[in-house]
Amino acid sequence: MKKTIKHILILAIFCISLSLSAFNDGFVFGMKAHFSGSATEPHISKEELAKMGSTSFTGNVGFIIQGGMDFTYIFDSKKYFNMESNDIFGGLGFGGYIEIGQGYIGQVSGAPAPINKVFVNVFFTPVVHFGTTLKTYLLSNRFVLGLGLGGRMIADPTPMFEQYSADDRDEKDKDVHSKVDTLIVTSDMMKKMNPFAFQMKGSLEYIQPVLDRLEFVLGGFMAYNIYKPGYVSMPPELEKMAKDGVGFDAKNTKLNSFYLNSFDFGVTLGINFKVTPWKS
C-alpha cells in the first residue's frame, strides 16, 4: 500500500514538473470552485430609513461557496496579433460563465434603546451567477487576468436566516429574540422583489499545465454586486415590530433608494480542458 502511494506521488510530481506549453488558440472548458467571503454594503436614504423605524443600516460579512463552469476561446498572440513569442503576452480570451452556489446578505439595523442593534444574516441557496469574461494571458499563458460583466439571480423562496440583537436583557424579556429559522418569501413578494443583481468581476489565475490538454488552476477573485431589491423582506418578528411601532408595511411599501450591494472576494480552484481536436 505504501509503495502504491509512493508511486502515485512520484507520478504526480513528474506530471506537474513537465515543461509543457500552455494552451495556444482554441476553445477551453473550465470547471472551478470558489471559496469566498461576502461583505454586504446596504444603502438607503434617511427618509426611507425613518419609515422602517431604524436609526442606521449597515452590513455584515459571511462565508459562501459556489462553483461552476466557463467556456473561453483563446486568440493566440502569435496567430492573431503577429507576435514572435508569447513570453510576455500570450493572447486574449473571450467567453462566458455560469455558476451556482450560496448567497449571503448581512444586515445590521440600528434600533431605539434598549435594543440598540438588530442583526439579521440571510443565506440563499441557490444563487445563479452568469456573464461574459475577457481574459488576458501573460508570461507564456501561465497567468491570466480576467474581467467579467454579468448578473446574479437569487432563486431561493425559502432562505435561512439568523436573527439576534445587541440587548443584554434575559432572552424571555427581549423584544428581538435570537433564532435561526426559515424566511418564507410569498409568491406575491417574489413577483414584487427584484431577484437580479448586476455583477462586475475581476480575477487573477495561475495556470499549471499537467497533460497536453489539461491544466490546474489556482487563483483569486473580487466581485461587486449592485442589487436593488425594491422591497425589504423581514423575519416575521421584525416585520410585526416595524408595523406596530411606526406603521411600516414591508410587504406593500416600495423602497426606491434601497440597495443591498455586496463585495465578494476569495480563492479559486479548478481545472481547464482544451476541447478543440486540432493544434495551432
pLDDT tens-place string over residues 80-133? 788 878 788 889 999 999 999 999 999 999 887 777 889 999 999 999 999 999
Nearest to 96 by CA among 27, 45, 165: 27
Instruction: Confirm whether 136 is domain-assigned.
Output: yes
Per cent of the chain over pLDDT 70 is 90
3-class secondary structure, 228 = coil
Contact predicate 243/53, CB 8 Å: no
**How far apart, in whole angstroms, are the C-alpha atoms of residue 40 and residue 49?**
17
pLDDT digits (tens, 9 = 90+) for 223-243: 999 999 999 888 888 888 888
Q: What is the pLDDT of residue 220?
A: 96
Whether the predicted pLDDT of 208 surpasses 70: yes
Give DSSP secondary structure letters for 45-73: -HHHHHHHT-SEEEE-EEEEEEEEEEEEE
Instruction: Confirm whether 175 is domain-assigned.
Output: yes
Domain extent at residue 146: 2-274
Instruction: Confirm whether 162 is domain-assigned.
Output: yes
Averaged pLDDT, 244-270? 93
Question: How high is the mean pLDDT of the chain?
Answer: 86
Instruction: Confirm whether 279 is domain-assigned.
Output: no
Instruction: Confirm whether 225 is domain-assigned.
Output: yes
Instruction: Confirm whether 251 is domain-assigned.
Output: yes
- Model pTM greater than 0.75? yes
**What confidence category does residue 277 fall into, taking pLDDT thresholds of 50, 70 and 90?**
low
CA angle 28–29–32, rounded 5-degree value: 125
Q: What is the pLDDT of residue 10?
A: 42
Q: Which cell numbers hold the place of 250? A: 414591508
Dihedral pair phi/psi, residue 61, rounded to 5° = -120, 135
Instruction: Report DSSP state, residue 82.
Output: -
Instruction: Confirm whether 254 is domain-assigned.
Output: yes
Averaged pLDDT, 142-162? 94
Dihedral pair phi/psi, residue 185, rounded to 5° = -95, 110
pLDDT digits (tens, 9 = 90+) for 1-27: 444 444 444 444 334 333 344 456 789
Instruction: Confirm whether 280 is domain-assigned.
Output: no
Domain count, the chain: 1
Q: What is the pLDDT of residue 14?
A: 39
Q: What is the pLDDT of residue 177?
A: 83
pLDDT digits (tens, 9 = 90+) for 16-63: 333 344 456 789 999 999 999 999 999 999 999 989 888 899 999 999
Cα separations (Å) of 220 from 10, 26, 58, 167, 247? 28, 24, 26, 38, 45
Q: What is the pLDDT of residue 167?
A: 79
**What confidence category does residue 76 fall into, taking pLDDT thresholds of 50, 70 and 90?**
confident
Dihedral pair phi/psi, residue 139, rounded to 5° = 50, 65
**How far apart, in whole angstroms, are the C-alpha atoms of residue 30 and residue 48?**
44
Q: What is the pLDDT of residue 6?
A: 46
Instruction: Report DSSP state, residue 14.
Output: H
**How far apart, in whole angstroms, are the C-alpha atoms of residue 206 and residue 221?**
12
Q: What is the pLDDT of residue 18?
A: 37
